[in-house]
Amino acid sequence: MTSGRLLRQLIKIGARDGGEEFRRVAEEVIREERLKNHHLLANDLERILYGEHSDPGRKSFPRVLYDIPRDRERGLPLLAVREPVRYLQDIVLSDVNKSILEEVLLENSRAEVLASYGLKPISRLLFCGPPGCGKTLAAEVLAAELGLELAVVRFDAVVSSFLGETSANLRKVFDFLEASCCVALFDEFDAIGKTRDDLGEHGELKRVVNSFLQMMDGFRGKSILIAATNHERLLDKALWRRFDEVLFFERPNLEQIRQLLIVKLRGVRYDLPLEDRSFLNQFKGFSHADIERILIRAIKTMVLKGREFLTLELVEEARKREEERQNIVLRL
C-alpha cells in the first residue's frame, strides 16, 4: 500500500511541472482516498495540488480538465458540467430504487476491491418514469455522494440537421466521458434512442441508434452513464440490454408524500397534520416536482403575508392553484 508520505511527495513534485495529465491522475488519487475515508490525507493532497487556499472542509469534486466538446455546426457545448449540491437526504425514493442506488454507491466507492477480483461496478443505469418524479435529482444525488461532477448531455446541441453530424457529436461526448470521471446524464434519452422499427423515423436516426449502441459497447471509461426518459416504450429494445440496472420512478404513494413533505419543509415552521391520511391524500396523483412547487408557493405566501407558521389553509390554497395550472396545461 502506498504510504501517505510518498503520496504527498509525489504530488508535491508533480504539482510544479506535471501538466494536465498529472493533475487528472492526482485528482483521481485524491478521490479514491476520500472514498476510503482517508479525509485528512485527501485534504493534504488537495492543498498540495491546488495550493494553500483550497478549502479542506468542502467536498472534493474532480475538476473537468478537458475542453467541453462543441457542435461543429453551431458551436454549442455538447455537455453542461456542474457540481452537484443535493445528497441522499434530499431525495425520497421507493424502497426498490433506494436499495439499487445504495448498491451503486457501494460498488463505485469500492471499485478497487471489485477490480482486484476482475469485477466492475454498476456504471450504466436507465431511469424511466413520468416527468417530475426524481430521475434528474437521483443522478445529481449519485454524483454528489461519489464526489463527482454531473455532466448533463445537451441533446439540443447533439442532434444536428447535417447528415452524420449527430453521430459525430455523440462520439465527441463519449470521448470526453472516457477521458474524465463524472456522472453523465443523457436526459430525454428517447430523443436519440427511439426504436429502429419506428416507421415514422428516417434512416439518419436509425444510424444514430446504431452508433450509440456501438459506443456503449466500446465504452471503457470510469464515468457513470445514466440515461433518463419519460417515454421508455419508445426506446429501441437493444438499448435495454446495455444497462446494468433499470429504475422506474413513479409518483409518490402516501408514505413517500409524508417523507417528501418532511424533507421539503426543513427549516420551515409549520402547523400541518403530516400523519393525517386525509391531509396526505390531497397530494395523491401529483409528482414530486408538483408537490415541491405547491409547498414553495405556500411558503412564499406565508412570508409575504407575515405569517409565523405554514398552515393547512395556505397549503390547500397553493394546491388548488397547482390544479388550475395543470388544467390550463392540459387544455393547450
**Highest mean pLDDT (candidates 14-23, 28-37, 47-56, 305-314):** 305-314
Q: What is the pLDDT of residues 97-123, one digit of tens each?
A: 999 999 999 999 898 899 999 999 999
Spatial distance between the Cα atoms of 184 and 225, rounded to a whole number of angstroms: 5
Mean of all residue pLDDT scores within the chain: 87
What is the reported pLDDT for 53? Answer: 42
Question: What distance, in Å, lies between the first and last C-alpha atoms of the chain?
Answer: 63
Kindly report the pTM of this predicted structure: 0.78
pLDDT band at 32 (very low <50, low <70, confident <90, very high): confident
Residues in the chain: 332
Written in H, E and C, the secondary structure of 277-308 is HHHHHCCCCCCHHHHHHHHHHHHHHHHHCCCC
Q: CB-based contacts of 112: which residues, under 8 Å, 6+ apart? A: 32
User: Domain 254-331: which CATH class?
Assistant: mainly alpha
Decide if 213 contacts 238 (C-beta within 8 A). yes
CATH of region 79-248, choose from 3.40.50.960, 3.30.2130.10, 3.90.650.10, 3.40.50.300: 3.40.50.300
Domain boundaries, the chain: 4-50, 79-248, 254-331
Spatial distance between the Cα atoms of 52 and 75, rounded to a whole number of angstroms: 37
Q: Give start and end residues of each alpha helix (H) in 187-332.
A: 190-193, 203-218, 237-240, 254-264, 277-281, 288-304, 312-331
What is the reported pLDDT for 163? Answer: 65
In 3D space, the residue among 65, 186, 168 whose CA is nearest the CA of residue 124 turns out to be 186
